[in-house]
Amino acid sequence: MDSDEEQEWVPFKNRPEWSDVVPVEQDDGPNPVVPIAYKEEFTQTMNYFRALYRADERSPRALQLTTEAIKLNSGNYTVWHFRRLILKTLSADLQNELDFTEDIAKANSKNYQLWHHRRWVAEILGTNATSQELEFTKKILSHDAKHYHAWAHRQWVLQELGGWEDELDYCHELLEEDIFNNSAWNQRNFVITRSPFLGGLKAIRESEVSYTLKAIVAHPENESSWRYLRGFTKMTISLG
């Protein structure tokens, strides 16, 4: 748990550094059908966020405010968007931003906004982020082998930032743990058809067929390995 979470929340009206800001309340219209009873912390945080967002204030305190807002609701697209604008304006340390998103992922990793933001950061960092991004997705996949967002991000990293060298070995590790892991078979197919380090399908045809047949012999009831073999055969049948 980080220090922000350990400290008791202080209302914004009691924070001297926010005394110059006039909070903007949420406008639900004169007769809202179902008024939502937000907690005071959430209400105040978003009221102050709206004030800074309207003023387009891209400052360190605005960045901290988005941190608090995201921790309360990590699905708010507008807050993430404004955070990116602030990070660019401040030329902030994006390595810290990777740490922040990893923190948020611990509470809710199946969050589109989180992954969109993470990709934005990694794209700017470029190959400096490759190994960390692969490790990040590996951690998440160790808890949820079918995590769609993690697999999509991992494939994006490989295609845009590299890191193919050990990916086939990683697929093998996953299949050693669970030969029925359809996501791992899918990733294996992704690697053999795109990796620049394997020499093409013709070069690996014999070893790949042998690998898959061993898996089938060990577990003939496994649909994933049969499907993989059929797909691989279709791809390579015309190679001669």
Per-residue confidence band for 239, with pLDDT thresholds at 50, 70 and 90: confident
pLDDT of 226 above 60: yes
pLDDT of 115 above 90: yes
Assigned domain for 212 exists: no
Of the residues 106, 110, 146, 214, which is catalytic?
110
Assigned domain for 2 exists: no
158-194 tens-digit pLDDT: 999 999 999 999 999 999 999 999 999 999 999 999 9
**What is the reported pTM?**
0.91
Assigned domain for 88 exists: yes
Nearest to residue 71, comparing CAs of 105, 47, 25? 105
Count of domains forming the chain: 1
Q: Is 139 exposed, middle or buried (0-12, 13-18, 19+ CB in 10 A)?
A: middle
Assigned domain for 225 exists: no
110 labelled catalytic: yes
Assigned domain for 174 exists: no
Query: Domain range holding 27?
Result: 7-92
pLDDT of 51 above 80: yes
pLDDT of 80 above 90: yes
pLDDT of 36 above 80: no
Both structure tokens of 118: 């993470």
Assigned domain for 198 exists: no
Whole-angstrom distance, CA of residue 144 vs CA of residue 103:
17
